[in-house]
Structures are given as C-alpha cells and as structure tokens.
Structure 1
Amino acid sequence: MSILSILMFLIVGFIAGVVYYGYSSLQPVEAQDESIRFTVETGMNSKQIANRLEEEGLIRNQTSFTYYLKYKKEGQRFQAGDYEMQPGITIDEIIQKLNAGETVVNTIQFTIPEGYTLEQITDKLAGEQLINSDVFSELLLQPELFSSASIKNIPDDGNMKYILEGYLFPETYEMKEESNEQDIIERMLLELDKKLTSLPENWQEQLDVLGITFHEMMTIASLIEREVVVDEERKTVSGVIFNRIRDNGLLQIDATVQYALDEPKERLLYEDLEIESPYNTYIVEGLPPGPIASPSILSIEAALYPEETSYYFYVTKKDGTQEHLFAETYSEHLSNIEKSKQMVQN
C-alpha cells in the first residue's frame, strides 16, 4: 500500500471518527423520570446556554451542541426564564422549547370547599398566606371591579351581609404565583360563569317557570348546600323550600340563623331563633336577602329543578348517615324528630 493510500485511509478514518463522535454526542442523554429545572439568565449567549445544558445533564457535549446550532442557524432566539426539561429529550426539542420560551410558570394552588362563606374563604386564603385579608375584604365590596356576568344579577339590597356572598365558586384553583387579591376574586367569579354553562340549555327559562330571579336561585342553592350532604336529597330539600315559599310560610332553616350569628354554634338554642336579622328565616317570611354560602353546581341544579314533592318538613337522622327524614305534616315531623332521637339512643 502506497503512502498516499495510507494517508487517504487515515484521513477518511479521522473524518468518519469525527462524524461519528459528532453524531453520538448529539444523541439524547439517558432518559430519566425526574425533570430538571434550570434557569437561562437574561444576556446569556448560546455557548453559555449550551454549557448550562451540559452541566444539568440534558446534553452530552456543549461543543457539539454549539456547532449544531451554527449549522442549523439557531440560538439567536433563545429566551430567558426558568425551564423544566426531562433527560432523554432530543436536541431539536430543546431548541424548540428555548425558541418558544416554554418556561415554567410558578403557580399557587388552593381549594375552596363547597358551602364556605366569604368569611371562611377569606380566612382560608389568608391562612395560606395567599392574600391580605383587609385588601381582599375591601375588594369584595366593589363588584363593579369584576367582569363576571353572574354578578350583574345581584340586586341593590342594603340588607345583604356581603354583596358577593355565594358567587365565589367552590373549586380547586391553580393560578400564577404573582396573582393578587383582585385576580383571585375575578378567577373565582368567572368559574361560576363557566360552571353555569354545564347546566341544561334551558336553565334560564326555568327561572321564569319557577317565578324566581337568578339571585334568588343562588340563594336557594346556598340553603340547599348548607342543609344537605347526601346528593340524592338535594332536589327533595329544594322541593320542600319551594313548597314553603309558595305557601308564604316561614322557611325555618337553621343554616340561615347560623349565618346571622356573629359566631356559628354547634347547636342552636331557642333564643338564637329569635335573633333580629333579615337572614333569620324563623321570623322573616320567604328567602333571606342573599346567599349564605358558596353553593356547588349540584345545589344550583337542585335549586333550578326541585323535586315535585308533598313534603314540608325534614329532620336530620341521628345515625351518622347525614340523611334526612321527610314529612308532609307537622305532626309527622314531630314523630320523625322522636325517631331521630331514638337513633342516637340505639
């Protein structure tokens, strides 16, 4: 073999080795289950970013990555921010994410249980250090700051304890970390608007059928939410409420008295039933001036589509099931109360 042949063989071998090394160094690293979070700082160039990627174990070789960027004419549009990528991602996928600025959005998460009052919501969010309670409470007095369609139905009634009571929908929320008090209220109000779209298409016509306003429907839904635990009973209790309303009688719902009190009690006393308040349905006929809590979509639907029933009374069973005994007459109701007491004894 001539010297020229040997030289050509060595050159070809060297080129093949370089190509193979370049190719292999651009292959994804070994895949892992856990993602890696890293930061591309403002002002970093493509070489610095490549070095960061190698340090984090997302690429095999920063030099090969840099040359690949030059070959692809990439690297000029990379955006700063916090990123989260999983080892095993391809080089082109990394480039795409950096170009698109697919940064990690730091979020906050909180859950508002069904049946919470505005005071409970405020205390919970403040306890989780997500809001300033004074700022939050002040914003709740200014419904004009919010875009929700639902709150446009709230009447101008000075008897209401809180204007937006019942309208902040109970749900688990995830929001941007920088969300302020107004953002949080707006998000919860809009969630109610969103949930209403899941109701039957004719639900607004149903208000006319029942002869109630949207605000009255939300009020009834809140009563159901605070009175009922078992889902199957929501529409039955709704039927009882409508029966009492149609007879122009007193609703006599304990939950409204609890709402009227400065501090809820584990057990109401007879003297509590005489408290002077527009929310005390033991002395004021008809519905209270507004909701007493944030109702679930199931309670809202129950308020819209009450069960046709002849019941006028109900009492909670004392057997731990949280179900109710229903009655058509007051004498039957008294009998059910005794049955409930016996359940405790048994």
Structure 2
Amino acid sequence: MYIKKILLAIALFGLLGLGIFSYYIYNVIFSANTAFSENTAEVFIPTNATYAQVRDSLQPLLEDIKDFDVVAQKKGYTENLKAGKYILKKGMNNNELVNVLRSQNEPVWVTFNNQERLENLAGRISRQIEADSASIISAMKDSSFLAENKFDNRNALGMYVPNKYEFFWNTSAEEFRSRMLEEYNRFWTEERLNKAEEIGLTPYEVIVVASIVQKETAKVDERPRVAGVYMNRINNGWKLDADPTVIYAIKETTKNFDTIIKRVLYKDLKLDSPYNTYKYKELPPGPISMPDISSIDAVLNFEDHDYFYFVADVENFGYHKFAKTLSQHNINKRTYVRWINAQGINR
C-alpha cells in the first residue's frame, strides 16, 4: 500500500510537471510577445544577414527575445533567414512572428522623377531599396548592358521612365536595372512608337526633346505648345536655341551640377559643348533631365501651330508668351529683360 502511494505521488508530480512544462511551452509559442505600442512595426533584414543581426533588430520590438529564440530554432528559422521587409503586428505570438519573417516579404513602392543625372537617380533609389548608390550607378553604367540594349552613358537616363513601381526592398542593383528596362519597353507601346515615327523622331530623340520641354515649363498644360515650338524649329532645319541646354552644358563642362543658374548670358551661348543647342543644330547626345511622362507625351502629341519663339510671361508667372515672328518675339523679350533686370538677377 505504501509503495502504491509513492507511485501515485510520483505520477501526480509527473503530471503536474508535465502540465507546467506544457503550459510553459504553450506560452512560449502562443502568447503575445510584442513590445511596441503602435499597431505595426517594420523589420528590414539585409541580404546575407546572420541570425545574430536579425535578433538585434527584433530585440527592441519583443517582450522576451529568448522565448523567440526557442521557437525560431525549433521551426528552423535560425538557419533559413530571408532578406526583405517584414511587418509585425501588435500582439503577435512567436509562432506568428516566425511565420511572417520566413514567408511574408512585403513589397515597397519606389518612386522617382525629374532626376538630372544617373548619379542623382541612383542616390534616390538607394534610399528606397537595399542596394546602395554605388552598386546602382555601377549597374546603370555597365558598358556591356548599355551596348546590348543600344544605350550609352549619355542617353541611359532616358531608359528610366519616372513613375511609381512596386519592388521588394531586397532588390539588387542589377534586378532594379533589368526591371526598369522592362518598364521602358512596356512604356514604348506600338501607339507611341508609331507616333514617334510619324513626327520623324526615334524614342531616344523624343526623350531628349521632352527633357528640354520639361526644363522649359512646369505647366503640364503648356508642354504640348512648347513642344510644338521645338518641333517647328526641327522641321524647318533650325537650331533649337534652348536655354536649358546651355545651362546643362555649363554644368556638364564644369562638372558642377549643384550650381544654380537663373539667367543665361550671351557669353554662355558660345560654349563649345554638344549640349549647347545655340551652337549646334543636332539634338543633344542625351536628355538634360528626366522628363515626366507628360512631357514625353507632349512631344509625341505636340500642338500644331505657327509659333517659333517664346519667352517667360512676367504677367502670368509659370507660363510663356509665344510669337510667330522674330519682331513680335523681340517685343515680348524686351518686357522680360526689363523685368529680370529689375529683379537684380545677373546669373
């Protein structure tokens, strides 16, 4: 009888111990283990990260990192890390946390526009995906890639159509570049290609003209009219005589793209640069900025008119006064020059 009582006691203690252990395991796996007060928290896991790095990122967000370690190890996560952006929800348990981190890489929106050079674009992109600016610019300027796709360093900026795109945060520089080539080819639909052919320009040339239109006016509704002026000059064998190309030529020649030039001087028009459309009739060898889609479509659908000249309208800021003849243009220009002199703008 005494032995039976001992065995019963041992069994009861065993069951109690098993219950306590089971309760502990249940809590480790299924109890909430988040420490942030917001509804969600973002975690970015770099490519080739170690578990120690991931753990350091998670520790401020969790109540008990050691409990997370137990579940992560049991579920094999510590040996199977996945790079990317992950969103944790308040109140998640360790089982849910591990499931999110190994299978729910969240996409990010990448946006860009109006970049003046590949270097500027690379810097902007590097703030939105994992790849750094050095690797992005290296991929963008890769000579083999450019030659294979009929681009060069001067016109490669035109391959990047400004818009909003969905990527995974851990996208590499080469993956970003390849996706942008796909988007470029998708942008140039049969309709756009036909329109370019109708107006006598290649897609590259359309983008170059569009970049000038972009710099000339910020008013979307005015862009088809400005584009029409440049197409009139092109179709009549004139030089473009575009001030923005001179400004770009100065920056490109001096290698100082941070300089601000508000006024083009007569001496600037003599600068010997392929970007200077006051000196050379040919289009610049590449875009002088990244044109918006509205500027590209403004060139493809330029306004059919008889204007050959335009100058800033000081009575309607942001817009321009257009003229069909040089004499009328000179009248408009004198008004503008008087205004800009009164502002004390000398450069």
* 1:162-173 superposed matches below 5 A: 162-170=154-162
**Cα RMSD between the aligned structures?**
5.2
Match of 1:321 among 311, 317, 324: 317
**Does the residue aligned with 1:35 lie in a helix, a strand or coil?**
strand
Aligned positions of 1:109-148 closer than 5 A: 113-118=113-118, 130-132=132-134, 136=137, 140=141, 142-146=142-146
- Aligned with 2:159: secondary structure? coil
Aligned-residue offset at 1:316: 1.5
Q: Among residues 234, 247, 267, which one is paired with 1:258 in the alignment?
A: 247
Aligned partner of 1:292 in structure 2 is: 288
Per the TM alignment, residue 243 of structure 1 is displaced from its structure 2 partner at its CA by: 0.9
Q: For 1:29-68, what aligned pairs fall within 5 Å after superposition?
A: 32=36, 33=38, 35=41, 57=62, 62=67
TM-score (norm 2): 0.65
Alpha-carbon distance in structure 2 between the residues aligned to 1:210 and 1:27: 67
Counterpart of 1:167 in structure 2: which amino acid?
Answer: M
In structure 2, relative to structure 1, the CA distance for the partners of 1:27 and 1:147 (3 Å cut) is: farther
Deviation, structure 1 residue 166: 3.6
Tell me the TM-score normalised to structure 1 length: 0.65
Structure 1 residues without counterparts, runs of 5 or longer: 1-6, 44-48, 155-160
| d(CA) in 1 for partners of 2:280, 2:145 | 32
Tell me whether 52-61 or 230-239 shows the greater mean CA deviation.
52-61
Task: Report the Cα distance in structure 2 between the residues aligned to 1:29 and 1:138, rounded to whole angstroms.
Answer: 42
Find out whether 1:333 has 2:337 as its counterpart.
Answer: no
Partner AA of 2:274 in structure 1: P
What SS does structure 2 have at the residue aligned with 1:260? Answer: helix
Change (3 A) 1:306 1:36: closer
Residue 299 of structure 2 corresponds to: 303
CA 1:69–1:340: 2 relative to 1, 3 Å: closer
1:166/1:292 contact within 8 Å kept: no
Specify whether residues 302 and 192 from structure 1 end up closer, same or farther in structure 2 by C-alpha distance, changes over 3 A only. farther
Give 1:1-346 correspondences, 5 Å limit: 26-28=30-32, 32=36, 33=38, 35=41, 57=62, 62=67, 75-76=75-76, 79-81=79-81, 85-90=88-93, 92-97=95-100, 100=102, 113-118=113-118, 130-132=132-134, 136=137, 140=141, 142-146=142-146, 149=149, 152=150, 162-170=154-162, 179=172, 183=173, 187-188=176-177, 190-191=179-180, 193-194=182-183, 197-198=186-187, 202-261=191-250, 262-263=253-254, 265-318=261-314, 321-341=317-337
Greater helix fraction, Structure 1 or Structure 2 = 2
Residue in structure 1 matched with residue 4 of structure 2 by the alignment: none
8 Å CA contact 2:159–2:184 kept in 1: the answer is no
SS of structure 1 residue aligned to 2:75? coil
Structure 1 pair 280/97, CA: closer, same or farther in 2 (3 Å)? Answer: closer
> Which letter maps to 1:235?
P
Task: Work out the CA distance in 2 between the residues paired with 1:288 and 1:24.
Answer: 68
8 Å Cα contact 2:239-2:277 kept in structure 1:
yes
Aligned-partner Cα distance in 2 for 1:54–1:219: 51
Work out the CA distance in 2 between the residues paired with 1:304 and 1:248.
19
CA change 1:190–1:178 in 2 (3 A) is closer
**In structure 1, what is the Cα distance between the partners aligned to 2:248 and 2:34?**
59
- CA displacement at 1:114 relative to structure 2: 0.4
Instruction: Tell me the distance in 2 between the aligned counterparts of 1:330 and 1:69.
Output: 76
Tell me the secondary structure at the aligned position of residue 306 of structure 1: coil
Contact 2:35 2:60 in 1 (8 A): no
Change in Cα spacing, 1:277 to 1:75, as seen in structure 2 (3 Å) is closer
- Count the aligned residue pairs: 310
- CA contact under 8 A between 2:77 and 2:98: conserved in structure 1? no
Alpha-carbon distance between aligned partners in 1 of 2:189 and 2:103, rounded to the nearest angstrom: 41
Deviations 1:156-189 (A, max 9, x none): xxxxx8353543455688775795xxx27x7357
Displacement of 1:335:
2.1
**Structure 2 stretches of 5 or more lacking a match?**
1-7
- Separation in 2, partners of 1:115, 1:97: 36
Q: Deviation of residue 203 (structure 1)?
A: 0.9
